[in-house]
Amino acid sequence: MQDKIGFEEHFNLPQFDHELPPYENPQRMIEIRRQLLDLADERLGEMDASGIGYSLLSLTAPGLQAVTDPAVAVTLARQVNDALAEIVAANPTRYGGMATLPLQDPQAAIAELERCATQLRFPGVMVNGFTDTPDGKGLYYDHERYLPFWETAESLGVPVYLHPRNPLPANAGIYEGHPELMGAVWEFTVETATHALRLFTSGLFDRFPDLKLILGHFGETLPPFMWRIEHRLSVMGDRIKTRKPLREYLQANLYVTTSRNFHTPALNNALTELGVDHVLFSSDYPYESMRAAAEWFDHADISENDRLKIGRTNAMDLFPNLPQKIGNPAE
């Protein structure tokens, strides 16, 4: 399929390169770090070879969420978004931007979100998990201090992509002695699924029913476990903070991507649980191969109508600021 749209496609800036955690083995990380900084011929060539017409770029994790000083985070967010806007302006039919926000300061994050959506015309937001704090406890976004931020995201119609990161050191004891389970193998999934469930069970989507949340990797295990989680929540009595069953929120407010999970049974499960309109293509480049993502997706045993929706038109419906013309102008 040609002219697919991907939006878990990462980049980096030189000032963050030295802080990038070792997500892969050392040799692979050398290559990934180089590819994250490349926004020219190699990346565009990979997009062309994979039939990806347009990529929404996002700052790689942990990015701004690892900054503990709110004032520094506010300054860096503006610098990152301005740099990304220049990248997009240089190649507007191939690249778009996912805003980076200083959630260390919710009011500053709102101002930057408004600037990114209305002035820079970024279609969405990428948040790399919880935000660090000087005391090491971290900030999760179900806290009431973030309600005005979520209200703004809803009013602007801007989807928020909750991307994984490593857990707080205080929460990582379960992995002690098992480094093979860290990162994308398992640690990311547990951290991000739990954070997402905090949002869904907090009553957030009762307050903001049009808010849109995106999770990668087919929803970080939430769709296949939806029935069990909802079933056990149903016996919690006065602990429940939501007005409706969990399934209704996931089916209305959750969107999932194919990023780094190129497995047709997982795709079919997402289609069954969420519906085709809530599934979108992505590769997770450069941590994953665009060509591998495209080869699997282009030949997955689904209908051509579903392939078109997942590969392109769902993204165009979801993101309000995509340009009218996207893809390789040479085609």
Q: What is the 3-state secondary structure (H, E, C) of the chain?
A: CCCEEEEEEEECCHHHHCCCCCCCCHHHHHHHHHHHHCCCHHHHHHHHHHCEEEEEEEECCCHHHHCCCHHHHHHHHHHHHHHHHHHHHHCCCCEEEEECCCCCCHHHHHHHHHHHHHCCCCCEEEECCCECCCCCCCECCCCHHHHHHHHHHHHHCCCEEECCCCCCHHHCHHHCCCHHHCHHHCHHHHHHHHHHHHHHHCCHHHHCCCCCEEECCCCCCHHHHHHHHHHHHCCCHHHCCCCCCHHHHHHHHEEEECCCCCCHHHHHHHHHHHCHHHEECCCCCCCCCHHHHHHHHHHCCCCHHHHHHHHHHHHHHHCCCCCCCCCCCCC
Residue 240 is predicted with a pLDDT of: 85
pLDDT for the residue numbered 329: 52
pLDDT the model gives residue 239: 84
Q: Two tokens at 145?
A: 């201090």
- Alpha carbon 236 to its chain's center: 30
- Structure confidence at residue 167 (pLDDT): 94
Regions of the chain where pLDDT drops below 50: 331
User: Is 69 designated active site?
Assistant: no
Of the listed 142, 284, 298, 306, which one is catalytic?
284
Q: Which domains does the chain have, with CATH numbers?
A: 4-318 (3.20.20.140)
Residues 77, 315: Cα–Cα separation, whole Å: 25
Give residue 328's pLDDT.
Answer: 67
Q: What is the pLDDT of residue 324?
A: 73
Q: Which of 215, 216, 224, 305 has the alpha carbon at shortest distance from 270?
A: 224
Q: What is the pTM of this model?
A: 0.96
